[in-house]
Chains A and B, each alone.
Chain A
Protein backbone atom coordinates (compact mmCIF):
# COMPACT_ATOMS: atom_id res chain seq x y z
CA UNK A 1 0.00 0.00 0.00
CA UNK A 2 1.41 3.33 -1.04
CA UNK A 3 1.98 5.99 1.60
CA UNK A 4 2.74 9.67 1.53
CA UNK A 5 6.47 10.44 1.66
CA UNK A 6 7.78 12.43 4.59
CA UNK A 7 8.37 16.16 4.27
CA UNK A 8 12.10 15.75 3.73
CA UNK A 9 11.87 12.45 1.88
CA UNK A 10 12.61 12.35 -1.84
CA UNK A 11 10.44 9.98 -3.82
CA UNK A 12 10.61 9.08 -7.49
CA UNK A 13 7.83 6.82 -8.75
CA UNK A 14 7.88 5.28 -12.21
CA UNK A 15 4.65 3.96 -13.75
CA UNK A 16 4.33 1.76 -16.80
CA UNK A 17 1.65 -0.39 -18.39
CA UNK A 18 3.92 -2.15 -20.89
CA UNK A 19 3.32 0.56 -23.45
CA UNK A 20 3.65 3.93 -21.77
CA UNK A 21 5.44 5.62 -18.95
CA UNK A 22 5.07 8.36 -16.40
CA UNK A 23 7.24 9.62 -13.56
CA UNK A 24 6.29 11.42 -10.35
CA UNK A 25 8.90 13.13 -8.21
CA UNK A 26 8.44 14.36 -4.66
CA UNK A 27 11.26 16.85 -4.21
CA UNK A 28 10.38 17.56 -0.57
CA UNK A 29 8.01 19.81 1.36
CA UNK A 30 5.00 18.20 -0.31
CA UNK A 31 5.97 19.51 -3.75
CA UNK A 32 5.74 17.26 -6.78
CA UNK A 33 6.81 17.15 -10.41
CA UNK A 34 5.01 15.09 -13.08
CA UNK A 35 6.95 13.90 -16.11
CA UNK A 36 4.81 12.41 -18.90
CA UNK A 37 1.61 10.48 -18.43
CA UNK A 38 0.23 7.00 -18.98
CA UNK A 39 -3.01 5.27 -18.13
CA UNK A 40 -3.50 1.92 -16.45
CA UNK A 41 -5.26 -0.55 -18.79
CA UNK A 42 -9.02 -0.38 -18.38
CA UNK A 43 -8.80 2.96 -16.59
CA UNK A 44 -9.46 6.46 -17.79
CA UNK A 45 -7.65 8.30 -15.01
CA UNK A 46 -3.92 8.94 -15.61
CA UNK A 47 -1.60 6.84 -13.45
CA UNK A 48 0.19 9.78 -11.74
CA UNK A 49 -3.09 11.40 -10.70
CA UNK A 50 -4.45 8.10 -9.48
CA UNK A 51 -1.35 7.57 -7.36
CA UNK A 52 -1.50 11.06 -5.86
CA UNK A 53 -5.15 10.43 -5.09
CA UNK A 54 -4.25 7.15 -3.36
CA UNK A 55 -1.74 8.78 -1.07
CA UNK A 56 -3.99 11.74 -0.33
CA UNK A 57 -2.14 14.44 -2.24
CA UNK A 58 -4.09 17.20 -3.97
CA UNK A 59 -2.44 17.68 -7.37
CA UNK A 60 -3.80 21.21 -7.70
CA UNK A 61 -1.81 22.34 -4.66
CA UNK A 62 1.13 19.97 -4.73
CA UNK A 63 2.24 19.67 -8.35
CA UNK A 64 4.53 22.52 -9.35
CA UNK A 65 5.83 21.33 -12.67
CA UNK A 66 4.34 19.19 -15.46
CA UNK A 67 6.84 18.11 -18.10
CA UNK A 68 5.62 16.87 -21.48
CA UNK A 69 8.86 15.28 -22.65
CA UNK A 70 7.64 14.64 -26.21
CA UNK A 71 4.42 13.74 -27.97
CA UNK A 72 4.81 10.03 -28.55
CA UNK A 73 1.67 8.12 -27.75
CA UNK A 74 3.32 6.10 -24.99
CA UNK A 75 4.37 9.21 -23.05
CA UNK A 76 1.34 11.41 -23.34
CA UNK A 77 -1.80 9.33 -22.73
CA UNK A 78 -3.91 11.23 -20.19
CA UNK A 79 -1.60 14.26 -20.14
CA UNK A 80 -4.42 16.72 -20.81
CA UNK A 81 -6.14 15.47 -17.64
CA UNK A 82 -2.88 15.94 -15.74
CA UNK A 83 -2.53 19.52 -16.97
CA UNK A 84 -6.18 20.18 -16.12
CA UNK A 85 -5.84 18.79 -12.59
CA UNK A 86 -2.53 20.54 -11.91
CA UNK A 87 -3.66 23.96 -12.99
CA UNK A 88 -1.21 25.79 -10.73
CA UNK A 89 1.78 24.00 -12.23
CA UNK A 90 4.09 25.29 -14.93
CA UNK A 91 3.81 23.23 -18.10
CA UNK A 92 7.07 22.38 -19.84
CA UNK A 93 7.24 21.62 -23.56
CA UNK A 94 10.18 20.76 -25.77
CA UNK A 95 11.51 23.84 -27.53
CA UNK A 96 11.35 21.78 -30.71
CA UNK A 97 7.61 22.42 -31.00
CA UNK A 98 7.83 26.16 -30.43
CA UNK A 99 7.09 27.06 -34.02
CA UNK A 100 4.12 28.04 -36.11
CA UNK A 101 4.36 24.92 -38.26
CA UNK A 102 3.70 22.64 -35.28
CA UNK A 103 0.55 24.59 -34.40
CA UNK A 104 -0.52 24.46 -38.03
CA UNK A 105 -0.26 20.68 -37.87
CA UNK A 106 -2.20 20.50 -34.61
CA UNK A 107 -4.96 22.75 -35.86
CA UNK A 108 -5.17 20.93 -39.20
CA UNK A 109 -5.74 17.59 -37.47
CA UNK A 110 -8.08 19.03 -34.87
CA UNK A 111 -11.56 17.52 -34.98
CA UNK A 112 -10.63 15.16 -37.78
CA UNK A 113 -12.77 12.11 -37.13
CA UNK A 114 -10.23 9.93 -38.89
CA UNK A 115 -7.53 10.79 -36.40
CA UNK A 116 -7.08 8.35 -33.53
CA UNK A 117 -3.63 9.62 -32.70
CA UNK A 118 -3.52 10.08 -28.93
CA UNK A 119 -0.46 12.32 -29.17
CA UNK A 120 -2.19 14.83 -31.41
CA UNK A 121 -5.42 14.66 -29.39
CA UNK A 122 -3.64 15.25 -26.09
CA UNK A 123 -1.60 18.16 -27.43
CA UNK A 124 -4.68 19.75 -28.94
CA UNK A 125 -6.46 19.51 -25.60
CA UNK A 126 -3.50 20.87 -23.62
CA UNK A 127 -2.95 23.82 -25.94
CA UNK A 128 -6.65 24.68 -25.87
CA UNK A 129 -6.64 24.45 -22.07
CA UNK A 130 -3.62 26.70 -21.66
CA UNK A 131 -5.11 29.14 -24.13
CA UNK A 132 -8.46 29.25 -22.32
CA UNK A 133 -7.04 29.76 -18.84
CA UNK A 134 -7.45 33.06 -17.10
CA UNK A 135 -6.24 34.70 -13.89
CA UNK A 136 -3.46 33.06 -11.90
CA UNK A 137 -3.66 29.90 -14.02
CA UNK A 138 -2.88 31.85 -17.18
CA UNK A 139 0.73 30.98 -17.87
CA UNK A 140 2.76 30.59 -20.98
CA UNK A 141 4.57 27.25 -21.39
CA UNK A 142 8.12 26.83 -20.17
CA UNK A 143 10.28 25.87 -23.14
CA UNK A 144 12.93 23.25 -22.52
CA UNK A 145 16.21 23.06 -24.36
CA UNK A 146 19.72 21.96 -23.51
CA UNK A 147 21.21 23.37 -20.31
CA UNK A 148 18.17 25.33 -19.28
CA UNK A 149 17.12 25.69 -15.63
CA UNK A 150 13.38 24.98 -15.58
CA UNK A 151 12.48 25.30 -11.92
CA UNK A 152 14.10 25.84 -8.54
CA UNK A 153 13.07 25.89 -4.91
CA UNK A 154 14.68 26.28 -1.51
CA UNK A 155 13.42 23.51 0.75
CA UNK A 156 12.62 23.76 4.44
CA UNK A 157 15.54 21.49 5.40
CA UNK A 158 17.96 23.94 3.82
CA UNK A 159 18.49 21.96 0.63
CA UNK A 160 18.09 23.50 -2.78
CA UNK A 161 16.07 21.76 -5.50
CA UNK A 162 16.90 22.56 -9.14
CA UNK A 163 15.48 21.04 -12.29
CA UNK A 164 17.46 21.35 -15.52
CA UNK A 165 16.69 20.33 -19.08
CA UNK A 166 19.67 18.70 -20.83
CA UNK A 167 17.93 18.39 -24.20
CA UNK A 168 16.80 18.95 -26.94
CA UNK A 169 19.98 20.22 -28.53
CA UNK A 170 20.02 23.31 -30.73
CA UNK A 171 20.50 21.13 -33.78
CA UNK A 172 17.56 18.88 -32.87
CA UNK A 173 15.34 21.95 -32.48
CA UNK A 174 16.37 23.33 -35.85
CA UNK A 175 15.84 19.96 -37.54
CA UNK A 176 12.39 19.61 -35.98
CA UNK A 177 11.28 23.03 -37.16
CA UNK A 178 12.33 22.20 -40.70
CA UNK A 179 10.56 18.83 -40.49
CA UNK A 180 7.21 20.25 -39.43
CA UNK A 181 7.02 22.42 -42.51
CA UNK A 182 7.49 19.35 -44.69
CA UNK A 183 4.87 17.37 -42.77
CA UNK A 184 1.97 19.71 -43.35
CA UNK A 185 -0.70 17.84 -45.31
CA UNK A 186 -1.00 18.41 -49.03
CA UNK A 187 -4.39 19.11 -50.65
CA UNK A 188 -5.71 15.92 -52.20
CA UNK A 189 -3.78 13.58 -49.88
CA UNK A 190 -5.87 11.26 -47.68
CA UNK A 191 -6.49 12.21 -44.05
CA UNK A 192 -4.80 9.38 -42.20
CA UNK A 193 -5.45 8.25 -38.64
CA UNK A 194 -1.97 9.19 -37.50
CA UNK A 195 -0.22 12.48 -37.72
CA UNK A 196 2.96 12.25 -39.78
CA UNK A 197 5.80 10.40 -38.15
CA UNK A 198 8.99 12.23 -37.40
CA UNK A 199 11.84 11.31 -35.12
CA UNK A 200 10.45 12.79 -31.93
CA UNK A 201 12.95 11.03 -29.71
CA UNK A 202 15.58 13.53 -30.83
CA UNK A 203 13.45 16.33 -29.45
CA UNK A 204 12.56 14.72 -26.11
CA UNK A 205 13.41 16.42 -22.83
CA UNK A 206 16.09 14.82 -20.66
CA UNK A 207 15.91 16.11 -17.08
CA UNK A 208 18.57 16.46 -14.42
CA UNK A 209 17.25 17.00 -10.90
CA UNK A 210 19.45 18.15 -8.05
CA UNK A 211 17.87 17.92 -4.61
CA UNK A 212 20.57 18.66 -2.08
CA UNK A 213 23.31 16.10 -2.72
CA UNK A 214 20.96 13.69 -4.46
CA UNK A 215 20.73 13.78 -8.26
CA UNK A 216 18.39 12.07 -10.70
CA UNK A 217 18.81 11.70 -14.45
CA UNK A 218 15.58 11.07 -16.37
CA UNK A 219 16.57 9.97 -19.86
CA UNK A 220 13.21 10.19 -21.66
CA UNK A 221 13.52 8.60 -25.14
CA UNK A 222 16.69 10.37 -26.20
CA UNK A 223 18.81 8.35 -28.58
CA UNK A 224 22.54 8.11 -29.12
CA UNK A 225 24.15 9.27 -32.36
CA UNK A 226 27.69 9.76 -33.54
CA UNK A 227 27.19 13.49 -34.07
CA UNK A 228 28.05 15.71 -31.14
CA UNK A 229 25.15 17.94 -32.12
CA UNK A 230 22.48 15.33 -31.53
CA UNK A 231 21.22 13.07 -28.78
CA UNK A 232 23.31 11.99 -25.81
CA UNK A 233 26.56 13.06 -27.44
CA UNK A 234 25.33 16.65 -27.48
CA UNK A 235 24.75 16.42 -23.71
CA UNK A 236 28.14 14.87 -23.09
CA UNK A 237 29.83 17.50 -25.26
CA UNK A 238 28.10 20.43 -23.56
CA UNK A 239 30.38 22.79 -21.65
CA UNK A 240 27.57 24.91 -20.28
CA UNK A 241 27.40 23.38 -16.81
CA UNK A 242 29.11 20.64 -14.86
CA UNK A 243 26.31 18.44 -13.60
CA UNK A 244 26.78 16.32 -10.51
CA UNK A 245 26.63 12.59 -11.08
CA UNK A 246 23.23 10.99 -10.55
CA UNK A 247 22.53 7.94 -8.44
CA UNK A 248 19.07 7.30 -9.94
CA UNK A 249 18.64 6.90 -13.69
CA UNK A 250 15.56 6.48 -15.86
CA UNK A 251 17.06 4.49 -18.70
CA UNK A 252 16.30 6.13 -22.04
CA UNK A 253 14.10 4.74 -24.77
CA UNK A 254 12.90 1.67 -22.90
CA UNK A 255 16.39 0.20 -22.68
CA UNK A 256 16.90 0.14 -26.45
CA UNK A 257 20.45 -0.08 -27.72
CA UNK A 258 19.90 3.12 -29.70
CA UNK A 259 19.51 4.99 -26.40
CA UNK A 260 22.72 3.59 -24.96
CA UNK A 261 25.64 6.00 -24.73
CA UNK A 262 28.64 4.62 -22.81
CA UNK A 263 29.76 8.10 -21.73
CA UNK A 264 26.48 8.61 -19.86
CA UNK A 265 27.44 5.83 -17.47
CA UNK A 266 30.92 7.21 -16.92
CA UNK A 267 30.28 10.97 -17.03
CA UNK A 268 26.77 11.51 -15.70
CA UNK A 269 26.13 8.60 -13.33
CA UNK A 270 27.62 7.39 -10.10
CA UNK A 271 28.88 3.82 -9.90
CA UNK A 272 26.15 1.19 -9.69
CA UNK A 273 23.21 3.60 -9.90
CA UNK A 274 19.62 2.54 -9.31
CA UNK A 275 18.12 2.25 -12.79
CA UNK A 276 14.51 1.99 -13.91
CA UNK A 277 13.01 1.49 -17.34
CA UNK A 278 9.55 1.05 -18.74
CA UNK A 279 9.13 -1.63 -21.41
CA UNK A 280 7.65 -0.97 -24.83
CA UNK A 281 5.52 -3.06 -27.14
CA UNK A 282 4.30 -1.74 -30.45
CA UNK A 283 3.85 -3.80 -33.57
CA UNK A 284 6.78 -6.16 -33.91
CA UNK A 285 8.98 -4.03 -31.62
CA UNK A 286 9.45 -5.26 -28.06
CA UNK A 287 11.85 -3.45 -25.73
CA UNK A 288 14.01 -4.21 -23.90
CA UNK A 289 15.46 -7.24 -25.65
CA UNK A 290 17.53 -9.87 -23.87
CA UNK A 291 20.63 -8.16 -25.23
CA UNK A 292 19.46 -4.83 -23.82
CA UNK A 293 18.92 -6.34 -20.38
CA UNK A 294 22.34 -7.99 -20.41
CA UNK A 295 24.00 -4.73 -21.45
CA UNK A 296 22.29 -2.69 -18.74
CA UNK A 297 23.09 -5.25 -16.06
CA UNK A 298 26.77 -4.88 -16.92
CA UNK A 299 26.53 -1.32 -15.62
CA UNK A 300 24.36 -1.80 -12.57
CA UNK A 301 23.10 -4.49 -10.27
CA UNK A 302 20.11 -2.37 -9.25
CA UNK A 303 17.87 -2.24 -12.30
CA UNK A 304 14.09 -2.48 -12.35
CA UNK A 305 11.28 -2.51 -14.86
CA UNK A 306 7.81 -1.05 -14.39
CA UNK A 307 6.29 -4.07 -16.11
CA UNK A 308 7.13 -7.55 -17.28
CA UNK A 309 6.68 -8.78 -20.84
CA UNK A 310 3.64 -10.84 -20.02
CA UNK A 311 0.73 -12.24 -21.93
CA UNK A 312 -2.78 -11.72 -20.63
CA UNK A 313 -6.05 -12.21 -22.43
CA UNK A 314 -8.97 -9.88 -22.26
CA UNK A 315 -12.13 -11.60 -21.08
CA UNK A 316 -14.79 -11.39 -23.74
CA UNK A 317 -17.84 -13.06 -25.21
CA UNK A 318 -17.29 -16.75 -26.00
CA UNK A 319 -18.59 -16.35 -29.52
CA UNK A 320 -16.03 -13.61 -30.09
CA UNK A 321 -13.24 -15.80 -28.71
CA UNK A 322 -14.30 -18.72 -30.90
CA UNK A 323 -14.42 -16.51 -33.96
CA UNK A 324 -10.96 -15.09 -33.29
CA UNK A 325 -9.66 -18.65 -32.92
CA UNK A 326 -11.53 -19.80 -36.01
CA UNK A 327 -9.91 -17.14 -38.16
CA UNK A 328 -6.52 -17.56 -36.50
CA UNK A 329 -5.99 -13.89 -35.74
CA UNK A 330 -3.28 -13.28 -33.12
CA UNK A 331 -4.94 -10.63 -30.95
CA UNK A 332 -2.84 -9.46 -28.02
CA UNK A 333 -3.26 -6.77 -25.42
CA UNK A 334 -0.98 -3.83 -26.12
CA UNK A 335 -0.84 -3.18 -22.38
CA UNK A 336 -1.09 -6.54 -20.68
CA UNK A 337 0.04 -5.33 -17.27
CA UNK A 338 0.83 -2.36 -15.13
CA UNK A 339 3.38 -1.68 -12.46
CA UNK A 340 5.04 0.95 -10.32
CA UNK A 341 8.63 1.28 -9.13
CA UNK A 342 8.99 3.69 -6.22
CA UNK A 343 12.40 4.87 -5.04
CA UNK A 344 12.63 6.75 -1.75
CA UNK A 345 15.48 8.31 0.10
CA UNK A 346 15.33 10.33 3.29
CA UNK A 347 17.21 10.19 6.51
CA UNK A 348 17.69 6.42 6.25
CA UNK A 349 18.89 4.09 3.50
CA UNK A 350 17.16 4.32 0.13
CA UNK A 351 14.34 1.88 -0.57
CA UNK A 352 12.76 0.53 -3.74
CA UNK A 353 9.15 -0.60 -3.68
CA UNK A 354 7.76 -2.68 -6.54
CA UNK A 355 4.01 -2.76 -7.08
CA UNK A 356 1.79 -4.54 -9.61
CA UNK A 357 3.73 -6.07 -12.48
CA UNK A 358 6.97 -4.21 -11.70
CA UNK A 359 10.01 -6.45 -11.29
CA UNK A 360 13.80 -6.51 -11.21
CA UNK A 361 15.09 -6.06 -14.75
CA UNK A 362 16.69 -9.50 -14.64
CA UNK A 363 13.20 -11.03 -14.40
CA UNK A 364 11.70 -9.30 -17.42
CA UNK A 365 10.70 -11.91 -19.96
CA UNK A 366 12.26 -10.76 -23.17
CA UNK A 367 12.50 -11.68 -26.77
CA UNK A 368 16.00 -12.33 -28.02
Chain B
Protein backbone atom coordinates (compact mmCIF):
# COMPACT_ATOMS: atom_id res chain seq x y z
CA UNK B 1 0.00 0.00 0.00
CA UNK B 2 1.36 3.38 -0.90
CA UNK B 3 1.68 6.25 1.45
CA UNK B 4 -1.06 8.82 0.90
CA UNK B 5 0.12 11.96 -0.78
CA UNK B 6 1.53 14.38 1.71
CA UNK B 7 -0.15 17.66 1.00
CA UNK B 8 1.68 19.62 3.62
CA UNK B 9 4.65 18.66 5.64
CA UNK B 10 6.85 20.65 7.93
CA UNK B 11 10.19 19.24 8.72
CA UNK B 12 11.39 19.91 12.17
CA UNK B 13 14.52 19.01 14.01
CA UNK B 14 14.44 17.09 17.21
CA UNK B 15 14.79 19.50 20.04
CA UNK B 16 13.25 20.33 23.34
CA UNK B 17 10.49 22.13 21.51
CA UNK B 18 9.19 19.28 19.41
CA UNK B 19 6.37 18.48 21.77
CA UNK B 20 5.02 21.95 21.31
CA UNK B 21 5.27 21.61 17.57
CA UNK B 22 3.22 18.47 17.71
CA UNK B 23 0.54 20.16 19.68
CA UNK B 24 -0.04 23.18 17.55
CA UNK B 25 0.20 21.47 14.23
CA UNK B 26 -3.13 20.66 12.69
CA UNK B 27 -3.95 17.60 14.65
CA UNK B 28 -1.54 15.23 13.00
CA UNK B 29 2.17 15.31 12.74
CA UNK B 30 4.82 13.08 11.31
CA UNK B 31 7.39 11.96 13.77
CA UNK B 32 11.00 11.02 13.45
CA UNK B 33 12.68 8.28 15.46
CA UNK B 34 13.33 9.15 19.06
CA UNK B 35 10.61 11.76 19.10
CA UNK B 36 8.07 9.01 18.83
CA UNK B 37 9.43 7.20 21.85
CA UNK B 38 9.65 10.37 23.87
CA UNK B 39 6.09 11.35 23.06
CA UNK B 40 4.93 7.91 24.02
CA UNK B 41 6.78 7.99 27.31
CA UNK B 42 5.52 11.45 28.15
CA UNK B 43 1.98 10.55 27.19
CA UNK B 44 1.84 13.67 25.08
CA UNK B 45 -0.10 12.19 22.24
CA UNK B 46 -2.14 9.25 21.17
CA UNK B 47 0.07 7.50 18.71
CA UNK B 48 -0.84 4.74 16.35
CA UNK B 49 0.82 3.21 13.33
CA UNK B 50 -1.23 4.36 10.37
CA UNK B 51 0.34 2.73 7.39
CA UNK B 52 2.22 -0.39 6.54
CA UNK B 53 5.37 -0.59 4.56
CA UNK B 54 4.54 -0.81 0.89
CA UNK B 55 5.76 -3.53 -1.41
CA UNK B 56 8.44 -1.34 -2.92
CA UNK B 57 9.45 0.48 0.22
CA UNK B 58 12.68 0.36 2.15
CA UNK B 59 13.00 -2.65 4.44
CA UNK B 60 11.19 -2.49 7.72
CA UNK B 61 11.57 -1.62 10.54
CA UNK B 62 13.47 1.49 9.43
CA UNK B 63 11.12 4.41 9.23
CA UNK B 64 13.43 7.41 9.35
CA UNK B 65 11.77 10.49 8.06
CA UNK B 66 13.63 13.12 6.18
CA UNK B 67 12.16 16.30 4.68
CA UNK B 68 13.91 15.80 1.39
CA UNK B 69 13.25 12.13 1.03
CA UNK B 70 9.85 11.55 2.51
CA UNK B 71 7.41 12.60 -0.16
CA UNK B 72 8.36 10.32 -3.02
CA UNK B 73 8.98 7.26 -0.89
CA UNK B 74 6.74 4.87 0.87
CA UNK B 75 7.47 3.45 4.21
CA UNK B 76 5.97 3.00 7.63
CA UNK B 77 4.75 6.28 9.03
CA UNK B 78 3.57 7.06 12.49
CA UNK B 79 1.00 9.70 13.10
CA UNK B 80 0.37 11.37 16.39
CA UNK B 81 -3.16 12.47 17.01
CA UNK B 82 -3.02 15.34 19.42
CA UNK B 83 -5.61 17.02 21.52
CA UNK B 84 -6.95 20.51 21.06
CA UNK B 85 -4.43 23.33 21.03
CA UNK B 86 -3.53 24.83 24.35
CA UNK B 87 -1.52 27.82 25.44
CA UNK B 88 1.96 26.83 26.38
CA UNK B 89 5.43 28.23 26.86
CA UNK B 90 8.92 26.92 26.31
CA UNK B 91 11.75 28.33 28.38
CA UNK B 92 14.85 28.75 26.24
CA UNK B 93 17.06 30.29 28.92
CA UNK B 94 16.80 30.22 32.69
CA UNK B 95 18.69 32.05 35.38
CA UNK B 96 18.62 32.02 39.14
CA UNK B 97 19.53 35.38 40.55
CA UNK B 98 19.88 37.41 43.68
CA UNK B 99 19.75 41.13 44.24
CA UNK B 100 23.07 42.91 44.62
CA UNK B 101 22.05 46.56 44.79
CA UNK B 102 18.70 48.32 44.98
CA UNK B 103 18.31 51.73 43.30
CA UNK B 104 15.37 54.11 43.05
CA UNK B 105 13.81 52.69 39.92
CA UNK B 106 16.05 49.74 39.13
CA UNK B 107 17.96 46.98 40.86
CA UNK B 108 21.14 45.14 39.91
CA UNK B 109 21.38 41.41 40.28
CA UNK B 110 23.88 38.61 39.96
CA UNK B 111 22.66 35.75 37.79
CA UNK B 112 23.63 32.11 37.91
CA UNK B 113 23.15 30.83 34.38
CA UNK B 114 21.16 27.61 34.70
CA UNK B 115 21.19 26.92 30.96
CA UNK B 116 24.95 27.34 30.51
CA UNK B 117 26.44 26.48 33.91
CA UNK B 118 29.72 28.07 34.90
CA UNK B 119 28.92 31.55 33.65
CA UNK B 120 27.77 34.16 36.10
CA UNK B 121 26.15 37.26 34.70
CA UNK B 122 24.85 40.57 35.92
CA UNK B 123 21.77 42.49 34.90
CA UNK B 124 19.86 45.61 35.79
CA UNK B 125 16.05 45.41 35.87
CA UNK B 126 13.58 48.25 36.17
CA UNK B 127 10.98 47.81 38.90
CA UNK B 128 8.37 48.50 36.22
CA UNK B 129 9.02 45.08 34.73
CA UNK B 130 8.16 43.26 37.94
CA UNK B 131 4.77 42.10 39.02
CA UNK B 132 3.50 44.58 41.57
CA UNK B 133 3.33 41.86 44.22
CA UNK B 134 7.05 41.17 43.74
CA UNK B 135 8.25 44.75 44.19
CA UNK B 136 8.17 44.67 48.02
CA UNK B 137 10.33 41.55 47.95
CA UNK B 138 13.28 43.31 46.32
CA UNK B 139 16.10 43.67 48.82
CA UNK B 140 19.78 42.79 48.88
CA UNK B 141 20.12 39.02 48.74
CA UNK B 142 16.53 38.38 47.63
CA UNK B 143 16.49 35.41 45.23
CA UNK B 144 14.47 35.21 42.04
CA UNK B 145 14.14 33.31 38.80
CA UNK B 146 14.31 34.81 35.33
CA UNK B 147 13.41 32.95 32.18
CA UNK B 148 13.15 33.83 28.52
CA UNK B 149 11.35 31.76 25.96
CA UNK B 150 8.58 31.31 23.46
CA UNK B 151 4.90 31.35 24.28
CA UNK B 152 2.29 29.81 21.98
CA UNK B 153 -1.28 31.02 22.06
CA UNK B 154 -4.36 28.99 21.25
CA UNK B 155 -4.05 29.94 17.62
CA UNK B 156 -0.47 28.74 17.50
CA UNK B 157 0.85 32.30 17.38
CA UNK B 158 4.30 32.50 18.90
CA UNK B 159 5.46 35.43 21.02
CA UNK B 160 8.65 35.89 23.01
CA UNK B 161 8.44 36.34 26.75
CA UNK B 162 10.62 37.41 29.67
CA UNK B 163 9.42 36.37 33.09
CA UNK B 164 10.91 37.51 36.41
CA UNK B 165 9.57 35.94 39.55
CA UNK B 166 10.83 36.49 43.08
CA UNK B 167 10.91 33.51 45.36
CA UNK B 168 8.52 33.47 48.27
CA UNK B 169 10.92 32.93 51.11
CA UNK B 170 10.41 30.76 54.10
CA UNK B 171 10.95 32.34 57.47
CA UNK B 172 13.56 31.34 59.97
CA UNK B 173 12.08 29.12 62.60
CA UNK B 174 13.27 28.49 66.10
CA UNK B 175 14.43 24.98 65.33
CA UNK B 176 16.68 26.35 62.53
CA UNK B 177 18.46 28.45 65.07
CA UNK B 178 18.68 26.20 68.06
CA UNK B 179 22.26 25.18 68.72
CA UNK B 180 22.57 21.81 67.05
CA UNK B 181 24.82 19.15 68.48
CA UNK B 182 26.60 19.23 65.11
CA UNK B 183 28.22 22.54 66.02
CA UNK B 184 29.50 21.16 69.29
CA UNK B 185 30.89 18.06 67.59
CA UNK B 186 32.72 20.12 64.99
CA UNK B 187 34.14 22.40 67.65
CA UNK B 188 35.52 19.50 69.61
CA UNK B 189 36.87 17.59 66.61
CA UNK B 190 38.53 20.55 64.91
CA UNK B 191 39.54 22.54 67.99
CA UNK B 192 37.27 25.31 66.72
Bitwise, B134-145 to A at CB < 8 A (1) or not (0) is: 000001111100
User: Chain B contacts of A187 at CB under 8 A?
Assistant: 171-174, 176-177
Known A116-B112, A314-B121; contact A130-B190, beta-carbon cutoff 8 A: yes
* 8 Å CB contact of B98 from A41, A116, A282, A331: A116
Complex formed: what's the CA distance from A320 to B160 in Å? 8
Q: Does A365 contact B (CB under 8 A)?
A: no
Interface size of A by CB at 8 A reads 52
Q: Does A14 contact B (CB under 8 A)?
A: no
A284 and B120: CB pair below 8 A? no
Complex formed: what's the CA distance from A317 to B149 in Å? 10
B143 and A323: CB pair below 8 A? no
Known A19-B120, A130-B190; contact A327-B162, beta-carbon cutoff 8 A: yes
A314 and B113: CB pair below 8 A? yes
Bitwise, B141-175 to A at CB < 8 A (1) or not (0) is: 11100001110000000001110000101111110
Task: Please report which residues of chain A, range 310-331, place their CB below 8 angstroms from some CB of chain B when the two chains form the complex.
Answer: 314, 316-317, 319-320, 322-324, 326-327, 329-331
A327 and B177: CB pair below 8 A? no
User: Chain A contacts of B172 at CB under 8 A?
Assistant: 108, 185-191
A283 and B122: CB pair below 8 A? yes
A41 and B119: CB pair below 8 A? yes
Complex formed: what's the CA distance from A323 to B192 in Å? 51
Minimum distance in angstroms from A29 CB to a CB of chain B: 29
Q: Does B180 contact A (CB under 8 A)?
A: yes
Q: Does B69 contact A (CB under 8 A)?
A: no
Closest to B176 in A: A108
- Seed contacts A107-B180, A184-B177, A327-B129; 17 additional CB < 8 Å A-B pairs: A41-B119, A107-B183, A116-B98, A131-B190, A140-B190, A140-B191, A185-B172, A187-B177, A188-B171, A188-B172, A192-B98, A192-B140, A282-B122, A283-B108, A316-B116, A323-B160, A329-B123
Residues on B facing A (Cβ under 8 Å): 92-93, 96, 98, 100-101, 108, 110-113, 115-125, 129, 139-143, 148-150, 160-162, 167, 169-174, 176-177, 179-180, 182-183, 185-187, 189-192
Residues on A facing B (Cβ under 8 Å): 19, 39, 41-44, 98, 100, 103-104, 107-108, 114, 116, 127, 130-131, 140-141, 184-194, 197, 281-284, 314, 316-317, 319-320, 322-324, 326-327, 329-335
